[in-house]
Structure 1
């Protein structure tokens, strides 16, 4: 276990260890599996290893947990009944799919009259949390059925039974759509390993050394995956710091790093305490704050000394100011900036930075700066692929690629330009399931026999979409022919 405090060169240590293992001939590059939490971290790790070694190693496996599980399931998922072409749903995709099949959930407690789908997003997040803990729908149902409620607890028990039933329904909907959500990627990989030990043994022989980055942010299912892969040789390197755990809200279990010594008693410890990023004043202030997490800290439980020492020379100062509200804090921060600019006229607005824990916390600052005419740039970490216009364009592209992609069709039909009534969307989705067709392949005459549709010109809307798709597919086919002919002509030159 490498305990790497903030700014201590964690990535450098991981990449140098990978390079050392290869250079010493202890393992082949193809026998190393490095697991990270972001694509950016995986790419950076590969790039650094490539620079350290005299020649490139294209067979080095550096993946996020989800990318690794996707790769395993596409290769071996048929062993447990998964098709190789399964789709991976984002949180928004999963919500759209669930909403399109909303009636199948048969909700009562979680279906308020005024807004039937109000709790749907929270339900999906609850199911995601269950998957992070390795809980299958049948496990959840068994747990609820084993409860023996008192007369006063009958309503609560019925609520839990509804949750268990809804979880099972959600998984059935995913299965029908040939889709997995992110939690399902890891859950089904665990299922594969446990039910098909031959597959697990194949991967154990393939990956003789495993490294895990940001180990403190692994959840129960991810740690179980690592433990299964690492047996029996236990050539495992984990890098993390319990004081830097930031993903508990999405299932990360700080217990993983705290109990690591119990499960791997022969593990060696390397503690990195030299910080290359900050001045000592910042490190001391942070160390003082983190003491409030005691006694649930690695330092207290194991006696490891983790206090960081700065390599940089002393500079600047840290001041802790407590305000009564966010609005008061924004005013106080702006006053401090104005005072600093008054003392130092060369201090530009662009030389000042304000960090907040969440995007919502920035709102009072932005509003105040707008009111006071202060120039600012708000850099939110909302990715490009969650912007509605990008999601809409992606849905169109998905339909062009696969007109039977009902989740994408549902998003397109939900766009205000079609003026589609929500109730009609649900009816269409229900009819598509009954007819065994995609939303675009529906027989609308059959639907008219069952429902009085509330959307004017519904047939016209679907015709326009089909016309657009037909035109785009013709263009795509023409481009393919041109590309094929060009390749043929180039081959003659």
Structure 2
């Protein structure tokens, strides 16, 4: 009896200590917030839209709100934080852990969807044996099968480049799924409209889905679409997950597509949903990010509150002014009244070089004239190829240079060719894409490769 009482007392003490720790951390955290961040963090219940400019502390707001909810007695495992990338999820977990919060569900939407689908495998048919259908595998499937689908070449124009055609078709299927457009929806549209390209697309769409079903494959679009449909069709499971996750927070909201927005809205059955993002920073528009997602949120949640984060902690005043001038050129952009905290900073220099080589040499000469270590200098380029050309010029000028993120030997053209040859040797019957790459390197034209593919089938 004495032992039981002692254990009970210890458990109560541990709970009290943990609660006190979180309370102290929360009070300290609130003191670190600016006025607009504090307003966002203090809005604990109901739908909230936080529009945040660059460097305004979006992640700090999400972390602060989670800590505030826990401080109010909300169970940590009833809070769902959805991020756009695994890296962002890791960063958020780290920050929450620093605040004494470790049991909140933090991850990408795809990770959450896969967990839901696998947990209900009897209904969804998605299990641990299901294989994720990656980008290269999808392209290889299309490359091998597109001609057997009797695509109308006059409509799709296969003769130009089979690889480019496959990429365009797969991208169209991806975008359709992200907009929750099924093959039945496409068929209905084709019946009501003269759409020959969609008719050809529908052939590939259905063959693609059939292949995945036969081979127990799932792609990233399927993960979200299947989860949305599953929750819409099973009210009991929707209720279960709605009660499990009483509070839903979505980071980088501007990069979500329509299907992902549907998922977040479904899970937030109690309307305790917070979305944080900046419509001017969307980097996924070319992959189907929903352009009017903030407006859709406002339409769906009539009682939503909106907070604008107005302090820019990242940029100097000069950089902020230049970015504002650039955004003014877009009439559709609603400029934010951001306040910079870093001071005026160095002036922004705009240089129009005569050609690419002159641009590279100008940068090299400028760096040599600076009295700083080359380690403290960064050059940002739009493509990896531009980075490589800059690096060549800098090294020629004796400037130590490191290529960030593209130094992998596997990205080398010659190494990639060797890997293709090894794949062909290992599995010649399933290496159509690799064979095509090698043949093109040897000067065999696309239409000849297609003719060989056709002959090989018969």
Q: Secondary structure at the match of 1:415?
A: helix
Aligned-partner Cα distance in 2 for 1:366–1:215:
35
Identify if the C-alpha distance between structure 1 residues 62 and 390 changes in structure 2 by more than 3 Å, giving closer, same or farther: farther
How far is the alpha carbon of 1:324 from its aligned partner?
6.2
Q: Secondary structure at the match of 2:120?
A: helix
How far is the alpha carbon of 1:105 from its aligned partner?
3.3
Residue 348 of structure 1 corresponds to which residue in structure 2?
A: 373
Q: Say whether residues 1:86 and 2:130 are aligned partners.
A: yes
| Structure 2 residue ranges without an equivalent (≥5) | 1-48, 435-454
Q: Say whether residues 1:22 and 2:70 are aligned partners.
A: yes
Match of 1:244 among 278, 281, 303: 281
Q: Say whether residues 1:415 and 2:423 are aligned partners.
A: yes
Match of 2:226 among 161, 165, 188: 188
Aligned-partner Cα distance in 2 for 1:383–1:42:
24
How far is the alpha carbon of 1:337 from its aligned partner?
2.9
Is the contact between residue 413 and residue 420 of structure 1 (CA under 8 Å) also seen in structure 2? no
Aligned-partner Cα distance in 2 for 1:135–1:202:
27
Q: Say whether residues 1:285 and 2:310 are aligned partners.
A: no
Q: Deviations over 1:274-303 (max 9, x none)?
A: 222221111121122122233343x5xxxx
Identify if the C-alpha distance between structure 1 residues 390 and 83 changes in structure 2 by more than 3 Å, giving closer, same or farther: farther
Q: Deviations over 1:214-265 (max 9, x none)?
A: 011111111111122223x211111111121111111112310234323223
**Relative contact order higher in (CA < 8 Å, ≥ 6 apart):** 2
Q: Say whether residues 1:358 and 2:383 are aligned partners.
A: yes
**Aligned residues: CA RMSD:** 3.5
Aligned-partner Cα distance in 2 for 1:205–1:390:
52
More displaced stretch, 324-333 vs 218-227: 324-333
Aligned-partner Cα distance in 2 for 1:386–1:229:
40
Q: Say whether residues 1:47 and 2:94 are aligned partners.
A: yes
TM-score by length of 1: 0.70
Is the contact between residue 73 and residue 84 of structure 1 (CA under 8 Å) also seen in structure 2? no
Match of 2:193 among 134, 147, 150: 147
Residue 168 of structure 1 corresponds to which residue in structure 2?
A: 206
Aligned-partner Cα distance in 1 for 2:178–2:355:
35
Residue 271 of structure 1 corresponds to which residue in structure 2?
A: 308
Match of 1:201 among 226, 230, 239: 239
Aligned-partner Cα distance in 2 for 1:385–1:363:
15
Q: Deviations over 1:194-226 (max 9, x none)?
A: 222222121111111100000111111111111
Q: Say whether residues 1:368 and 2:393 are aligned partners.
A: yes
Q: Secondary structure at the match of 2:275?
A: strand
Residue 450 of structure 2 corresponds to which residue in structure 1?
A: none
Aligned-partner Cα distance in 2 for 1:361–1:281:
26
Q: Deviations over 1:299-351 (max 9, x none)?
A: 5xxxxxx322222233311123344654453343334334x33xxxx333333
Q: Secondary structure at the match of 1:119?
A: helix
Residue 350 of structure 2 corresponds to which residue in structure 1?
A: 320
Q: Secondary structure at the match of 1:3?
A: strand
More displaced stretch, 41-50 vs 67-76: 41-50
Residue 260 of structure 2 corresponds to which residue in structure 1?
A: 222
How far is the alpha carbon of 1:113 from its aligned partner?
6.0
Residue 30 of structure 2 corresponds to which residue in structure 1?
A: none
Is the contact between residue 414 and residue 420 of structure 1 (CA under 8 Å) also seen in structure 2? no
How far is the alpha carbon of 1:366 from its aligned partner?
3.4
Is the contact between residue 326 and residue 361 of structure 1 (CA under 8 Å) also seen in structure 2? no
Identify if the C-alpha distance between structure 1 residues 228 and 382 changes in structure 2 by more than 3 Å, giving closer, same or farther: farther
Residue 18 of structure 2 corresponds to which residue in structure 1?
A: none
How far is the alpha carbon of 1:382 from its aligned partner?
8.6
What pairs with 1:5-16 in structure 2 (closer than 5 Å)?
5-16=53-64
